Amino acid sequence: MDYKDYTVRDFLHDELFRKWIENPDHGTKLFWETWMRENPDQRNTVEQARDVLLLIGTDEYTPTAEDQAEVWSRIAYTMREAPRKTPVFTMWRYAAVFLGLLTAAAAGWVFLHQGKAVETTYVTAYGETKRIVLPDSSMVRLNANSTLRCRIDRNGRREIWLDGEGFFSVVHDSHNTPFLVHTSDVDVQVIGTEFNVNTRRVMTRVVLNNGAVQLKLNGDGQEDIKMKPGEMVSYSTTTHQMSRRNVNPADYNAWLDNMLVFNETPIAEVATILQENLGIKLNIEDQELQKELFTGSIPMSDVEIFFKTLSRSLHVVIEKKDNNSYSIRRKKT
């Protein structure tokens, strides 16, 4: 199919384009990346269609207060960039969305010229994940039971405060504007990369997929750490414990595919992770049983599969106490 004459509206109605933006696979990403390289004159049109689709989603809806706040943030970031020519849109089914954008733009202009920054907060419940597109087109996948606060100042400085777990895909900024992720233990300074941050259990754990990040550890006398892809750094301000080792990032990012992956993990730790992500409490009566190791994966949407596997492999009995509470004990011989 020849997309050279496509307008923004045409791209929004194209299934292959929508798949690339909303749910890309390897083949889709390869096709569009190649097409963009071969058709650089269409980049502005594609980016405009992408921005609209990310804002409104695949379905039509009335923007929520959170959506409007995100639009505001995007405008605050975009206004510092060089102006682009914007085509005149005719009246069509997304007109209401653009009217909302126009209103937010006017408010954003006033907001910026008052010298204030724009902040947006996102929260997920147990068992819920959220996909967040930041004003600079960087993306965050926020894991369950987590809170993220995003702040964009009038100079485009990007700052994130994270409590819980999030996976970041950061777009490199042509102005080298800082992108910082703050936790209670470390400050992660990013250039352009993909990495996972987990702040649970009185420590922060950073796993780097690709690119480069620098960690500034909180506390006196701590040296900055430059991470390499495939490394995991864990640090706690409370205990002053720090570890650094090579890992398989896919094991720590499996929650992006709605899975939890374990490799010779003590059952007690598995129980903790289930409670952190799904709000499920496991009472393990036998102290020795807590030390037993589990290797396998758990679909977050169907934890009963895990219980069945665990029951067979460790010869245990699992009883449900209430909606979110279970007990585990060894079978009597």
| Structural domains of the chain, ranges and CATH numbers in brackets | 8-113 (no CATH), 118-250 (2.60.120.1440), 258-330 (3.55.50.30)
Q: What is the pLDDT of residue 57?
A: 55
With tokens 């791209």, the residue in question is: 11
pLDDT beyond 80 at 209: yes
Burial class (CB in 10 A: 0-12, 13-18, 19+), 20: buried
More confident of the two residues 50 and 287: 287
User: Long-range pairs for 54-62 at CB < 8 Å and ≥24 separation?
Assistant: 54/21, 54/133, 55/97, 55/101, 56/94, 56/97, 57/22, 58/18, 58/22, 60/93, 60/94, 62/96
Determine the average pLDDT of the residues in 73-97.
Answer: 43
Determine the average pLDDT of the residues in 91-97.
Answer: 43
CA dihedral 40, 45, 50, 53 (to 10 degrees): -160
List the helix and strand counts (H, then E) for the chain: 10, 19
Determine the average pLDDT of the residues in 13-33.
Answer: 82
For residues 131 and 238, what is the distance between their CA atoms, to the nearest angstrom?
31
Q: Which two tokens stand for residue 204?
A: 């922060």
Question: What is the 8-class DSSP label of residue 64?
Answer: P
Query: Among the listed ranges 61-65, 167-171, 226-230, which one has the minimum average pLDDT value?
Result: 61-65
Mean predicted lDDT score pLDDT of the chain: 79
- The pLDDT confidence band at residue 116, using thresholds 50, 70 and 90, is low
Q: What is the pLDDT of residue 49?
A: 76
Determine the average pLDDT of the residues in 289-306.
Answer: 84
- The pLDDT confidence band at residue 52, using thresholds 50, 70 and 90, is low
Which of helix, strand or coil describes residue 314?
A: helix
